[in-house]
Chains A and B, each alone.
Chain A
Amino acid sequence: MSVTKPLGYLDIGQLIKDSKGLVESVIFDSGAYRVGKGKYDVEDLGEGNYKISVAGSKRNNPHIIVSQKIPITYQTIAFIGLYIGDGAKASSGRGSGRISFSQRETNLTNFVRSQFVNIFGPTISFTHRVNEDALYFLTNEGREKMSELRKKMRSGGQQIPEESEILFSLQQELADIESQLPSSTKRALDNYRAKPNLWRRHRNHLVEFFMTRKYMAEFLRLQKLMEFETLGITIGDQDKISVNIRLPGVKGSREEGKSSRSDELDVNGLAPFRPILLRILSDVEDSILKNKKEVIVKGARDPWIKWNVTPQSGGHLVIDNAAYIENASSVQYVTPSGRVNRLVIQEVNDKKITLSKPRSRIHFSVPVKITITPLLALFIGLYLAEGNTSKDKIFKFFREPTSGLVIGFTGSEASTIEVCIRAMEKIFLDEQGRIETWRIKIGTKYFSEAAAIGNKLGAVVLRRGEKGQGSASGLEIVEHVRDWSLEVIPVLQEVKGAFDHLEYTGAGIPRVDVFYNNTAAPYLFALMRDLIVEPELLENYQAETNE
Chain B
Amino acid sequence: MLKSLIANRFDVEIQDENHIVAAHQSFFGTTDILKSTQKYFSKRLQEIVQDLGQGHTIFITYIFHTLIGYLVTHPTIDKEASSVLKKYLKSIRDERGGYFPIHEEFKKQFPKLGISQNTPIVSEIYSSYYGFWTNQLLGQDHTNDDIDGILTWLIACQQTSGLIYSREYSNTMEERRFESEKAAQLYYAVDLMVRLPKFLNDFDLEISLNDAREWVLSNFTSLRTVTARYFAFKALLLISPNEVCNLGIEELMGFLKDRLSKEDDGYYDYRLEDKFDESMSSRSYTSDDINSSHVFSSFYALALIELSNEICGGKTKAPNKAIRSLIEKSRNDDGGFGHHVFIKSFPTPFGPDTTDLETLLVTLLPLLDIA
**Residues of chain A whose beta carbon lies under 8 Å from any beta carbon of chain B:** 28, 30-33, 194-198, 437, 439, 444-449, 451-468, 471, 473-478, 480-481, 484, 487-488, 497-502, 507, 509-510
Interface membership of B89, Cβ < 8 A: no
A196 to B356, CA, bound (A): 41
**Residues of chain B whose beta carbon lies under 8 Å from any beta carbon of chain A:** 59, 61-62, 64-65, 101-102, 106, 110-115, 124, 126, 130, 169-173, 176-178, 180-181, 184-185, 225, 227, 269-270, 274-282, 284-286, 288, 294-297, 338, 341-352, 355-358
A sample of 20 inter-chain contacts (CB < 8 A) reads A32-B345, A197-B280, A447-B278, A451-B180, A452-B269, A452-B351, A456-B341, A457-B355, A457-B356, A457-B357, A458-B61, A458-B64, A461-B178, A461-B180, A464-B170, A466-B173, A468-B176, A484-B348, A497-B111, A499-B110
Residue of A nearest to B114 (CB): A501
Given A196-B281, A439-B114, A475-B59, A446 contacting B181 (CB threshold 8 A): no
Contact among B185, B284, B341 for A460, CB-based, below 8 A: B185
A517 to chain B, nearest CB (A): 14
Residue of B nearest to A30 (CB): B344
A231 to B22, CA, bound (A): 81
CB contacts (< 8 Å) of A484 on chain B: these are: 348-351
Residue of B nearest to A482 (CB): B110
CB contacts (< 8 Å) of A501 on chain B: these are: 113-115
CB contacts (< 8 Å) of A499 on chain B: these are: 110, 112-113
CB contacts (< 8 Å) of B346 on chain A: these are: 31, 488, 509
CB contacts (< 8 Å) of B351 on chain A: these are: 449, 452-453, 456, 477, 480-481, 484
CB contacts (< 8 Å) of B181 on chain A: these are: 451, 454, 460-462
Task: Report whether B352 and A480 are in contact in the complex, using a CB–CB cutoff of 8 Å.
Answer: yes
A373 to chain B, nearest CB (A): 29
The 6 A-B residue pairs with the shortest CB-CB distance in the complex, in nearest-first order: A501-B114, A31-B344, A453-B351, A197-B281, A462-B170, A468-B172
Task: Report whether A449 and B288 are in contact in the complex, using a CB–CB cutoff of 8 Å.
Answer: no
Task: Report whether A437 and B343 are in contact in the complex, using a CB–CB cutoff of 8 Å.
Answer: no
Given A460-B185, A500-B114, A476 contacting B180 (CB threshold 8 A): no
Given A457-B355, A458-B357, A476 contacting B171 (CB threshold 8 A): no
B167 to chain A, nearest CB (A): 10
Taking A444-B280, A456-B295 as given, write out 10 further A-B residue pairs in contact, using a Cβ cutoff of 8 Å, ordered by the A residue number. Answer: A444-B278, A444-B284, A445-B285, A447-B276, A448-B276, A449-B342, A456-B296, A460-B181, A461-B180, A476-B101
A421 to B177, CA, bound (A): 36
Task: Report whether A32 and B344 are in contact in the complex, using a CB–CB cutoff of 8 Å.
Answer: yes
Task: Report whether B180 and A455 are in contact in the complex, using a CB–CB cutoff of 8 Å.
Answer: yes
Given A451-B180, A455-B296, A456-B296, A195 contacting B352 (CB threshold 8 A): no
A27 to chain B, nearest CB (A): 12
Task: Report whether A453 and B285 are in contact in the complex, using a CB–CB cutoff of 8 Å.
Answer: no
Task: Report whether B112 and A498 are in contact in the complex, using a CB–CB cutoff of 8 Å.
Answer: yes
Contact among A33, A453, A473 for B345, CB-based, below 8 A: A33
A452 to B344, CA, bound (A): 15
B41 to chain A, nearest CB (A): 15
B361 to chain A, nearest CB (A): 10
A461 to B172, CA, bound (A): 11
CB contacts (< 8 Å) of B358 on chain A: these are: 456
A308 to B279, CA, bound (A): 50
CB contacts (< 8 Å) of B65 on chain A: these are: 458
CB contacts (< 8 Å) of A510 on chain B: these are: 343, 350
CB contacts (< 8 Å) of B227 on chain A: these are: 451, 455
Residue of A nearest to B300 (CB): A455
CB contacts (< 8 Å) of B225 on chain A: these are: 451
Task: Report whether B180 and A475 are in contact in the complex, using a CB–CB cutoff of 8 Å.
Answer: no
Task: Report whether A31 and B343 are in contact in the complex, using a CB–CB cutoff of 8 Å.
Answer: yes
A198 to B282, CA, bound (A): 10
A362 to B185, CA, bound (A): 47
Task: Report whether B275 and A475 are in contact in the complex, using a CB–CB cutoff of 8 Å.
Answer: no
Contact among B278, B281, B286, B297 for A455, CB-based, below 8 A: B297
CB contacts (< 8 Å) of B357 on chain A: these are: 456-458
Task: Report whether A475 and B102 are in contact in the complex, using a CB–CB cutoff of 8 Å.
Answer: yes
Most chain A CB neighbours (cut-off 10 Å) among B126, B294, B344? B344
CB contacts (< 8 Å) of A198 on chain B: these are: 280-282
CB contacts (< 8 Å) of B169 on chain A: these are: 462, 464, 473-474
A54 to B61, CA, bound (A): 59
A459 to B61, CA, bound (A): 7
Task: Report whether B172 and A464 are in contact in the complex, using a CB–CB cutoff of 8 Å.
Answer: yes
Task: Report whether B288 and A31 are in contact in the complex, using a CB–CB cutoff of 8 Å.
Answer: yes
A479 to chain B, nearest CB (A): 8
CB contacts (< 8 Å) of B184 on chain A: these are: 460
Task: Report whether A456 and B355 are in contact in the complex, using a CB–CB cutoff of 8 Å.
Answer: yes
CB contacts (< 8 Å) of B62 on chain A: these are: 457, 476
A453 to B351, CA, bound (A): 6
Task: Report whether B170 and A452 are in contact in the complex, using a CB–CB cutoff of 8 Å.
Answer: no
Residue of B nearest to A93 (CB): B287
A312 to B350, CA, bound (A): 32
Task: Report whether A500 and B288 are in contact in the complex, using a CB–CB cutoff of 8 Å.
Answer: no
Task: Report whether A453 and B352 are in contact in the complex, using a CB–CB cutoff of 8 Å.
Answer: yes
CB contacts (< 8 Å) of B124 on chain A: these are: 460, 462
CB contacts (< 8 Å) of A197 on chain B: these are: 280-282
B294 to chain A, nearest CB (A): 7
Residue of B nearest to A477 (CB): B351
A454 to B274, CA, bound (A): 18
Contact among B110, B115, B178, B342 for A447, CB-based, below 8 A: B178
CB contacts (< 8 Å) of A475 on chain B: these are: 59, 101-102, 106, 115
A21 to B216, CA, bound (A): 64
CB contacts (< 8 Å) of B102 on chain A: these are: 475
Task: Report whether A473 and B279 are in contact in the complex, using a CB–CB cutoff of 8 Å.
Answer: no
A425 to chain B, nearest CB (A): 20
A354 to chain B, nearest CB (A): 26
A200 to chain B, nearest CB (A): 9
Task: Report whether A455 and B111 are in contact in the complex, using a CB–CB cutoff of 8 Å.
Answer: no
Most chain B CB neighbours (cut-off 10 Å) among A32, A448, A449? A448
B9 to chain A, nearest CB (A): 10
B217 to chain A, nearest CB (A): 22
